[in-house]
Amino acid sequence: MNEMSLLVMSAATLGVIHTLLGPDHYLPFIVLSKARNWSQARTLWITFISGIGHVSGSVVLGLVGIGMGISLSRLERIEASRGEVVGWMLIAFGILYSAYGVYKYLKKGAHVHLPDFLRPRSIRHQDLHLGEGEMNKEDEAGRLTPWILFLIFVFGPCEVLIPMLVYPAAQHSGMGIFLVALVFGITTVGTMLLVVLLGYKGFSFLRLKGKEYQIHLFAGLVILLAGVGIQFMGL
C-alpha cells in the first residue's frame, strides 16, 4: 500500500471519528428538527448543506494557507481559534433559543396545563381550534434557524483535515489534495446524515403530544451544552 492510499484511508477514518466524537455535528439538527417540526427530507437537507459548509471552510483555509506558504503550526492555530469562535456562537445560540423556548411556553403553552376554570374563555376557545399543525407553524425564528446553523458550521473547523492536506501539497500532488478533501468530506457529511437520520427516527417513537412548547426549551439547552462541550471540554 503506497503512502497516498494510506493517507486517503486515514482521511476516511478520521472523517467518521471526528464527526462521531463531536456531538455538535448532529445534536443541534436532531433536536431542532423536532422543535421546528421539520420533515425528514428538510432535516437531512439542512444537515447536508451545513456539513458541506463545515468541510469547505477548512478546505478553503488549507488551500489558501498552503498557497501563501503559511506554516502548518500557524494554520492549526487559526483552526483552533475558529473552534473557540464556534463554541461561543453555539453557546450564544443555545442561550437565545432557550430564552425563545421559555417565551413560547409562557405565551402559548403554559396555559394549556391549567384547569379550564382558571383559563379565560377566549383562551379556551383558542385551544379548541388550535391544531398541532398551527401550533408548530413556522415563525421568523423558524425561518432563520437553518441559516444560523449553516453559518455556525461554515465557521466550524475540521482540525484533523489541515495536516492531511499539507502532505500531498508538499509532494506537489494536486490529485492527492483533491482526493483527501473529497474522501474526508464524503465521510464527514455522510456520518452526519446517518446519525441525524437515526436520531430523527428515534425521536419519532417518543410521545410528545401536548409538550410541543417544552421542546423548544429542550433544544436550546442541548445546543447550549454542545457549545459548552466545545468551549470548555474540547469536544
Cell 451544552 belongs to which residue? 225
Distance CA 216, CA 218 (A): 5
**154-175 burial string, b = 16+ CB within 10 Å, else e?**
bebbbebbbebbbbbbeeeeee
What torsion, rounded to 10 degrees, do the Cα atoms 151, 152, 155, 157 define?
Answer: -140
How high is the pLDDT of residue 119? 45
Cβ–Cβ < 8 Å for 14, 184: yes
DSSP secondary structure code for residue 119 in this structure: S
How high is the pLDDT of residue 80? 82
Is the pLDDT at 59 greater than 70, yes or no? yes
Cβ–Cβ < 8 Å for 155, 57: yes
Is the pLDDT at 179 greater than 50, yes or no? yes
Q: Which of 51-55, 82-86, 184-188 has the lowest mean pLDDT?
A: 82-86
How high is the pLDDT of residue 114? 44
Distance CA 143, CA 138 (A): 7
Is the pLDDT at 92 greater than 70, yes or no? yes
Give 211's pLDDT tier (boundaries 50, 70, 90).
low
Is the pLDDT at 132 greater than 60, yes or no? no
Mean predicted lDDT score pLDDT of the chain: 81
Q: Which three cell numbers stand for residue 183?
A: 474522501
Q: Which three cell numbers stand for residue 45?
A: 437537507
pTM of the model: 0.80
Cβ–Cβ < 8 Å for 224, 98: yes
Distance CA 7, CA 78 (A): 23
Give 141's pLDDT tier (boundaries 50, 70, 90).
low
Is the pLDDT at 95 greater than 90, yes or no? yes
Q: Render pLDDT for 218-233 as a digit per residue (tens, 0 to 9).
A: 888 999 998 888 877 7
Comparing 70 with 123, which gets the higher pLDDT? 70
